């Protein structure tokens, strides 16, 4: 993250994998045996339909154990001979009990040898209206019990915040913060404030609730967001299923990047959280027709709105260029917001000043109407319908605003 303020989310971003090892029930198969899990369908019969029923029953009992907070049932399906895996599963269960799960289920959808392919579906009570799905792999021992994950076959589960050994959970008024390290309660309070800031501008037609993940390491933050974090401090993500298909907005998460977020002042943290929460609020109407400068500029507009920072303070990198006589020629497009873009900070500042210009000239609610109209039509049509100007005229006026504001 450059300067004080920007996390990153682009309209089509789909990240945030969540992972788990598996839950269990209170019975084990009467006659331990090694199930045969075919790797491909045959004669038109889907793979999942031919997976040994004992594997499904085993996982169903483990899922029930998670829902019932039954530690003995959770561990009953783990092979006693897999001592290291069993110990890790015991620690995992203790971590899972800290979270408010409304549901937890498994679907076996295939396999290869002794490795079963599993889809975990879960919901966090009060936050996920529909199930969030994650890919997992489990190794079945000759006794028909769980003996490990998919690492023996080179397969990795989708990562999750509770993979870390130390995980704390704090519930705010409208937030759930899950993570490692100190400051979780303080972060929950800032998230609640950020939700209020977003609602004051965008309105109340969103969930007004948020789950924020606070990884203890940069490595886990990279894994949760599929990498590309650079020096960014936070990232809003859209939860996806195993095939990478975006959900319906019920699994959105904000991931804080530990080193970047820790470097910020309290004001900077407020700005970053409000920016990312804006992405959560607007995701349902953020389609490919909404230009990148409006997506990111609007998020920064809400982030900076009540920060007390001047325009010059918030756009220092761009201000240096303007004072050197270099005025941006056009509004930033999608490539300008990639993590490795050479003028990443300036792109955010250009986009923010475009939204500042609209709010200053036409009013804040006109800026909101422009965003919503861009989702229904296109950038050109939205500018014409809401602002009564064309793209060329708007760009020229914005360039003048940037020059007058920062020069």
Categorize the per-residue pLDDT at 231 as very low, low, confident or very high, splitting at 50, 70 and 90: low
pLDDT of residue 26: 23
Confidence class of residue 51 from pLDDT cuts 50, 70 and 90? Answer: low
Across the chain, mean pLDDT equals 84
Q: Give the mean model confidence (pLDDT) for residues 186-210.
A: 96
Domains annotated for the chain, with CATH where assigned, are: 1-17+160-286 (no CATH), 47-158 (3.10.450.50), 287-407 (no CATH)
Among 367, 368, 356, smallest CA distance to 406 is for 356
> What's the confidence (pLDDT) of residue 263?
87
Cα dist from 242 to 14, 110, 276, 347, whole Å: 12, 13, 24, 33
Q: Give the Cα separation of 49 and 215 in Å (integer).
A: 37
The answer to whether residues 273 and 174 touch, using CB atoms and an 8 Å cutoff, is no
**Cβ neighbours around 245 below 10 Å, total:** 9
Q: Which residues contact 148 (CB under 8 A, 6 or more apart)?
A: 82, 85, 138, 139
Model confidence at 401: pLDDT above 90: yes
Mean pLDDT for 268-295 is 94
What is the average pLDDT across 393-403?
98
Instruction: Check residue 383 and report its DSSP letter.
Output: I
Q: Is the pLDDT of residue 143 over 60?
A: yes
Task: Say whether pLDDT at 46 is over 50.
Answer: no
Strands across the sheet containing 168-171 = 168-171, 175-179, 210-214, 253-256, 234-237
Determine the Cα–Cα distance for residues 384 and 399; give it in Å rounded to an integer: 18
* pLDDT confidence of residue 125: 95
Q: How far apart are CA 118 and CA 134, in angstroms?
A: 8
Find the helix packing angle between 316-323 and 344-362, rounded to 10°. 90
pLDDT of 223 reads 85
Non-local (6+) Cβ contacts of 301 within 8 A are 201, 352, 355, 356, 359, 367
Predicted confidence (pLDDT) at residue 131 exceeds the cutoff of 70: yes
Q: What is the per-residue pLDDT for 332?
A: 98
Please tell me whether residue 139 adopts helix, strand or coil conformation. Answer: strand
Quick one: which H or E segment has residue 303?
helix 292-305
**pLDDT value of residue 57:** 95
Strand pairing category for 253-256 and 210-214: parallel
pLDDT at site 109: 87
What average pLDDT does range 387-406 have in this prediction? 98
Among 141, 134, 137, smallest CA distance to 78 is for 141
Q: What is the pLDDT of residue 268?
A: 94
- For residue 255, the SS3 value is strand
The SS3 assignment for 283 reads helix
Mean pLDDT across 350-357: 98
347, 286 contact by CB (below 8 A):
no
Q: What's the DSSP call for residue 39?
A: S
Return the percent helix, strand and coil in the chain, to nearest 5. Answer: 45, 15, 40
Q: Which of 168, 182, 250 is nearest to 211 (CA)?
A: 250
């Amino acid at each position: 993250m450059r300067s004080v303020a920007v996390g990153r989310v682009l309209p089509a971003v789909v990240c945030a994998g969540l992972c788990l090892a598996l839950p269990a029930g209170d019975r084990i198969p009467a006659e331990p045996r090694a199930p045969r899990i075919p790797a491909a369908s045959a004669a038109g019969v889907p793979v999942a339909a031919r997976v040994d029923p004992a594997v499904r029953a085993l996982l169903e009992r483990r899922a029930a154990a998670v829902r019932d907070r039954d530690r003995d049932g959770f561990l009953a399906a783990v092979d006693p001979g897999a001592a290291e895996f069993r110990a890790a599963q015991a620690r995992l269960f203790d971590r899972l009990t800290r979270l408010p799960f409304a549901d937890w289920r498994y679907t076996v959808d295939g396999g290869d040898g002794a490795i079963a392919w599993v889809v975990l579906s879960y919901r966090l009570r009060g936050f996920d209206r529909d199930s969030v799905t994650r890919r997992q792999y489990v190794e079945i021992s000759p006794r028909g019990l769980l003996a490990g994950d998919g690492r023996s076959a080179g397969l990795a589960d989708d990562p999750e915040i509770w993979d870390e050994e130390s995980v704390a959970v704090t519930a705010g008024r409208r937030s759930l913060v899950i993570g490692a390290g100190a400051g979780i309660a303080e972060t929950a309070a800032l998230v609640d404030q950020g939700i209020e800031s977003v609602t004051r501008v965008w309105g109340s037609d969103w969930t007004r609730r948020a789950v924020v993940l606070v990884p203890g390491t940069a490595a886990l933050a990279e894994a949760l967001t599929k990498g590309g974090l650079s020096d960014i401090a936070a990232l809003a993500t859209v939860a996806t299923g195993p095939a990478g298909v975006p959900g319906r907005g019920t699994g959105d998460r904000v991931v804080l990047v530990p080193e970047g977020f820790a470097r910020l002042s309290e004001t900077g943290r407020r700005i970053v959280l409000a920016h990312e929460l804006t992405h959560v609020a607007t995701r349902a109407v953020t389609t490919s027709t909404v230009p990148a400068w409006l997506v990111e500029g609007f998020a920064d507009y809400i982030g900076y709105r009540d920060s007390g920072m001047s325009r010059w303070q918030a756009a220092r990198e761009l201000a240096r260029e303007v004072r050197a006589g270099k005025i941006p020629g056009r509004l930033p497009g999608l490539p300008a917001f990639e993590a490795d873009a050479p003028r990443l900070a300036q792109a955010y500042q250009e986009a923010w000043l475009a939204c500042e210009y609209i709010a200053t000239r036409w009013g804040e609610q006109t800026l909101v109407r422009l965003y919503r109209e861009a989702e229904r039509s296109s950038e050109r049509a939205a500018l014409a319908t809401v602002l009564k100007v064309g793209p060329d005229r708007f760009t020229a006026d914005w360039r003048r605003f940037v020059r007058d504001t920062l020069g």
